[in-house]
Amino acid sequence: MTASKSSRARNARIAAQAGPARNAAKGGTTVKNASTARNGSTARTSSTADNGSTADNGSAARTSSAARTGTAGTVTRDRNGRDRARTAAARSGAAARGSQTVEVREAVAERGPAPWLQIATLVLALAGLAVSIYLTIAHFTESALAGCSESGLVNCTKVTTSPESYVFGIPVAVLGLAFFVFAVAIMSPWAWQSARREIHLARIVSVAVGIGFVLYLIYAELFIIGSICLYCTSVHAITFVLFVLTVFAAAAWGLKPGRPWKLIPARQSE
């Protein structure tokens, strides 16, 4: 009994001493496990954080790349837009200049031939009218023409009193007077600027008839009468110049200012 009690007492003491050691071991294992768990969680958390950072960096990189791409695209589109705008502006400017050129040309055409030609033809018609008036007066008064010789090749009296000084029973001086009265009206700036085609046709026809009559009178003076008249020659010269200027105006500006022959619209930019 005594031995058994002593043995149980020793076992109890040994168990009591071994208990804290086992608890410490278990506690160490628990601590290790907890530490491992915490480290694992930390590692996983760190890994997750790293992955998150990587993802953030990737997102940032993609965002930056997208931003650069978008900026480049915007710049390209802006440049293309500006280029197209400049091209459109250039075409519009060229079209506007072409339109202005056409309008200017049409405005010039509507005003008729150049002012110098209008004035020159009017002055020539007035000069021819003045000479014709003087010849008509001299014919009916049978007076000698001032400053004109009455012998030799230049003989005004012989010419103005010859049978050839009448055409269809009408004095040539009167026909010349009628022609230049009409010429003054048809060569005026108002007639040149008229939009009526008939007026411009009448001008052409009148000077054509006038130059034909002049050629006949020159032939009569040189080959039939054998003398020339200085006043008649001046009328012939005036008629010839009027004919040349009128034909030139018709060729350059047309028979109707609103429908010119030679004016070509400016080429539009494509």
pLDDT per residue as tens digits for the range 173-214: 999 999 999 999 999 999 998 888 899 999 999 999 999 999
> With the CA atoms of 21, 24, 28 and 31 taken in that order, what torsion angle do they form, in degrees rounded to the nearest 10?
170
Query: Residue 120: what pLDDT?
Result: 96
- Model confidence at 98, pLDDT cuts 50, 70, 90, reads low
Percent of the chain having pLDDT more than 70? 54
Q: Which is more confident, 50 or 13? A: 13
What rounded mean pLDDT belongs to the chain?
73
- pLDDT tens digits, one per residue of 130-158: 999 999 999 998 888 888 877 778 898 89
Position 254 scores a pLDDT of 79
Give 114-253's CATH code, choosing from 3.40.50.620, 1.10.630.10, 1.20.1440.130, 1.10.3080.10: 1.20.1440.130
- Whether the full predicted model's pTM is greater than 0.75, yes or no, is no
Residue 84 — very low, low, confident or very high, per pLDDT cuts 50/70/90?
confident
Query: From CA 64, how far away is CA 43, in angstroms rounded?
Result: 30
Give how far Cα 104 sits from Cα of 13, 99, 110, 265, Å: 131, 9, 10, 10
pLDDT of residue 13 exceeding 60: yes
